[in-house]
Structure 1
Amino acid sequence: MSIQVGDRLPEVVLQRIGDGVESVDTKTLFGDTKVVIFAVPGAFTPTCSEKHLPGFIEHYQQFHDKGIEVACVAVNDPFVMQAWGQSQNVPDGLMMLSDGNADFARALGLELDASAYGMGVRAKRFAIYAEQGVVKQLNVEAPGEFRVSSAEHMLSQIS
């Protein structure tokens, strides 16, 4: 069963690059704030690099002006997430988070078996808006689609 609107975000540990590799738990990251968490199946993949992340980069300031943090999550290691963020000119403040073992994706019930494509377990493409750790909006893409998890769609849903 996947996470639903009204549920609390699961408590798992993600990683990011700061002063070296940092392990950060989701409660610390998302528990006391408003946040949009969007997940991509993989860093450097076509739709993720050409549309999904660029949309959140383009609209980052609009989220920031509403007091909303933005976090990108992928089942990639933290070094890949850092390199992808650098290659995409991600603004300071947009979190690039590694869910290297798919713990977050599994805890959300939003994992994707991409073994047929040589990618193993990944996260489905989705976007969540949460306030103080509680899911207020949940948009999960149908396989092969990119519509409801876009930055533009999320902005239209958040008042």
Structure 2
Amino acid sequence: MIEQGQYVPEVTLTQLTSEGMQTLTNKELFDGKKVVLFAVPGAFTPTCSNAHLPEFVTLADKIKAKGVDAIYCVSVNDAFVMKAWGDSQNAEEILMLADGDASFTKALGLEKDTAGFGGIRSSRYAMIVNNGVVTGLFVEEGKEFTVSRAEHVLEKL
């Protein structure tokens, strides 16, 4: 599993925008930026839709006021699902990033196998990344939802 002080692995993520499908590299996502990235097991799932993403939407301005350049939400879903989910949650301040084949999640060592529910998915976590280096990592244990919450990340900035 990735640890504080390590660089985010070189893997691309995708985003669907009004200009079409965008493939984003680490350089584009992290170079010269302070970023809060949080990951969820699945778009449109109960905790993710009722609490995790909405809290980041609500606190986005406060998080950015702490010097954060961007907030990213990552899930092992395709870019079409991530765009629809972001639109349904009014997540204009958050970049909704798809890790369709779980390559990013696996490179971080934060994958989990949910078997028949959805296969390989991401663990629930949040991280603070400064210029590509993880400076804060908050991984949930089991089905907990405490350390990856927007309020907790805001306190750590």
TM-score class normalised by the smaller sequence: over 0.9
Name 1:134's counterpart in structure 2: 133
Matched, 1:41 2:41: yes
Name 2:4's counterpart in structure 1: 5
Matched, 1:151 2:146: no
Matches of 1:5 and 1:27, distance apart in 2: 19
Secondary structure at 2:4's aligned position in 1?
coil
Identify unmatched segments of 5+ residues in structure 1.
none
Matched, 1:107 2:103: no
Matches of 2:16 and 2:116, distance apart in 1: 30
Shift of 1:94: 1.1
Shift of 1:133: 0.6
Name 1:21's counterpart in structure 2: 21
After superposition, what is the alpha-carbon deviation per residue over 1:102-134, rounded to whole angstroms, capped at 9, x for unaligned? 0110000001111142x0101100001010010
Query: Which residue type is aligned with residue 132 of structure 2?
Result: G
Secondary structure at 2:147's aligned position in 1?
coil
After superposition, what is the alpha-carbon deviation per residue over 1:118-154, rounded to whole angstroms, capped at 9, x for unaligned? x010110000101001011000001111000000000
Name 1:65's counterpart in structure 2: 65
Name 1:89's counterpart in structure 2: 90
Matches of 2:95 and 2:153, distance apart in 1: 17
Compare 62-71 and 82-91 and name the one that shifted more. 62-71
Query: Which residue type is aligned with residue 80 of structure 1?
Result: V
After superposition, what is the alpha-carbon deviation per residue over 1:39-68, rounded to whole angstroms, capped at 9, x for unaligned? 000000000000100010000001122231
State the aligned residue count: 155
Query: Which residue type is aligned with residue 121 of structure 2?
Result: R
Query: Which residue type is aligned with residue 86 of structure 2?
Result: G
Query: Which residue type is aligned with residue 140 of structure 1?
Result: V
Identity of aligned residues (%): 48
Runs of 4+ residues deviating >4 angstroms = none
Matches of 1:29 and 1:67, distance apart in 2: 16
